[in-house]
Structure 1
Amino acid sequence: MPSTTTDTTPHGAHLRLLWPEWQGAGADMVGHLAPEFPLDAARRAYTVGTTVLQAVLPQNGGPVATVPVPMGDPGGELRDGIESKTVLTQQLSDALKIIKEQDPARITTFGGTCTVSVARFTSLAARYEDDLAVVWIDSHPDVDTGATDYNGYHAMAVSMITGHRDPEMSRLLPATVPADRVALVGLHDWTEDAYQHVGEWGLTSFSPADLRTSTQPLLDWLASTGCSRLAIHLDVDAVDANEGALGLGKVPDGLTGAEVNRIARDLQGAADVVATTVAEFFPRDVLHVQQVLRGFPLIGG
């Protein structure tokens, strides 16, 4: 399928990339964390979340491209410890093609699961080489691999970006970001078999408590990398679920929404932000409306 664009991107432009990828979240996990919805609707909630983000957030004034995402069920294929690997590999290839064609200096991405950051962060790593750092705001480290217990690809995003990745998919990536230039922010929920990779690979992590009153520890880390350019990823489950359940998993005791906003603004004052992702938005209220209106007169579905 061809990509959808609203304009031709001039060199150095700010591209908005819409990537409503949903296959990266393991089907069993989605069913477990969102049992109030039919599984087919819950799995595709990430596509709804992408649409909502594009509708409610300000336009950037630049071109918009959409990564084609099939809505049909891939049939639960599991290869090399990755569920739906074939369709996810094709999406990664399509996204990289769009980015290469557009050649933007900055990219804002709305997803979709956390894996929507892989193509654009590695593309910008190729563009800016050793002058790019990554701040990954997430309750989880996303450092699973095909050898760990969870088969959902969205939990492998940081692994892919830092080069600890699936060999087949890694051949597509234009570059990686060394682990010592990646900071995990808001980390406080994980599975033990993957968490060990944080220390083994040399990633820096900050718990919510570390940044509760000040962003300075993170700014000090950013200064230590020597990088002037920054890519920021936000998994919305980093926001304390006691404040609002924005993600699939309702993770309590995370950063507040105000703290996430303050951290991002402080980072913007300290570096040239060349990429921002908003991912894993699971709009439960919107899904509830969908279910209420399913089969409704003159609406159907």
Structure 2
Amino acid sequence: MSAGEDSVPTTTHGALTAFHGRAGDHNDRAMAGARILGSELARYMRAGLTRIGQSRPALSADWETELTAALPELRRLANRYDTLLAEGARPVTAVNRCAVALATLPVVARHRPDACVVWLDAHADLHTPATSESGYLGGMVLAGACGMWDSGLGDGLALGNVVLGGLRDVDEAERRLLSEGTISAVSAGEDMVDKLRAAVAGRPVYFHLDCDVLEPGVLATDYRVPGGLTLERLHEVAGMLAEHELVGVELGEFETIQPTGETDTDAARRLVEAVAPLLDGPRG
């Protein structure tokens, strides 16, 4: 087993992973956060945990530098997903940054082209290197997975299989793409659960959470965009999605140093409780 990866015997049907290597990080807090969140998921699910990625100081560099640094460990995660999905397992993964999904989504799309990706995030993440003004790797994730640029990690995710939830910070290039109507986008609001249910339309679901979809101050995140979800609303969304076939779960952008003053472990526990319907296995 290579450095930076260790495994504990799995005790449930869940295939639990924590990825905390470099992935376009602006700071080191989400690498530590993914470690804590992975441990809390393992406690809640009573599952073994495989860790991938050696946490190193954040580069906070341009997308190309970040991607080059991240590729070796992202490829290890992609290989793990390939194995898990080929075996019919349901991946549950804690990740530091949403850029990690450059590795996971193409594998999900290859094995389960019938599944939709429910992507809860304050941002659309539909930029390419040509359209991004910031050059932030995390803002290019869905575009890469959908084949709008070549990340070196594959593509294959159909635009029509993307369902965005909680979206509220969108740049002009992304707004033009969304205006075409191929991608479903649901804002945070009282009717969010019903609108997401309609957008999913009974399809199998791969769920991704970027913690900045939450109202600022609920949890520590890199970005703070007003108008987000409460943990109670997140729990409602999770409960609705749990009515569908679940392909996998991915939780990212959980940082350490909580704004509430509680411990990071307690904050991770509240997050896990909010998405618990997606961790408890299929209903019925």
Give TM class, smaller chain.
0.7 to 0.9
| Number of the residue aligned with 2:239 | 265
| 1:215 aligned to which of 180, 193, 208 | 193
1:134 aligns with 2:113: no
Q: In the TM superposition, what whole-angstrom CA distance separates every residue of 1:99-154 from its partner, at most 9, and x where no partner exists?
A: 2344452111101001223322322222222x211110111111111112122211
Query: Residues 281, 214 of structure 1: CA spacing in aligned structure 2 closer, same or farther, 3 A cutoff?
Result: closer
**Which blocks of at least 5 consecutive residues in structure 1 are unaligned?**
28-42, 291-301
The Cα shift of 1:8 comes to 7.3
For 2:268, the equivalent position in structure 1 comes to none
For residues 158 and 118 of structure 2, what CA distance do their matches in structure 1 show? 12
> Could you say what the CA RMSD is over the residues aligned between the two structures, in angstroms?
2.8
Give the corresponding residue for 1:234: 209
Of 194, 207, 228, the match for 1:254: 228
Query: In structure 1, how many angstroms separate the alpha carbons of the residues matched to 2:94 and 2:215?
Result: 20
Q: 1:199 to 1:66 in 2, by over 3 A?
A: farther
The whole-number CA distance in structure 2 between the counterparts of 1:239 and 1:125 is 26
How high is the TM-score relative to the length of structure 2?
0.79
Amino acid at match of 1:236: C
Counterpart residue identity of residue 100, structure 1: D
**Is it true that 1:284 corresponds to 2:257 in the alignment?**
yes
Letter in 2 for 1:16: L
Give distance in 1, aligned partners of 2:11 and 2:74.
20
Among candidates 124, 148, 156, match of residue 108 of structure 2: 124
Structure 1 moving runs of 4+ over 6 Å? none
User: 1:18 corresponds to which residue?
Assistant: 18
Opposite residue 193 of structure 2, the aligned amino acid is T
Tell me the distance in 1 between the aligned counterparts of 2:60 and 2:166: 34
Partner of 1:37: none
Helix, strand or coil at the partner of 1:274: strand
Q: Counterpart in 2 of 1:294?
A: none
Quickly say closer, same or farther: Cα 1:9–1:192, change in 2 above 3 A: farther
- The alpha carbon displacement at 1:75 in A equals 8.6
Displacement after TM superposition at 1:56 (Å): 3.1
The percentage of counterpart residues that share the same residue type is: 20
| Alpha-carbon shift at residue 214 of structure 1 (Å) | 5.3
Q: Shift of residue 233 of structure 1?
A: 0.6
Partner of 2:177: 197
Alignment of 1:169-208 (within 5 A): 169-170=151-152, 172-173=153-154, 175-200=155-180, 202-208=182-188
| Partner Cα separation in structure 2 for residue 14 and residue 55 of structure 1 | 14
Query: 1:282 is matched by which residue type in structure 2?
Result: E
Q: Which amino acid aligns with 2:165?
A: V
- State the TM-score, normalizing by the size of structure 1: 0.75
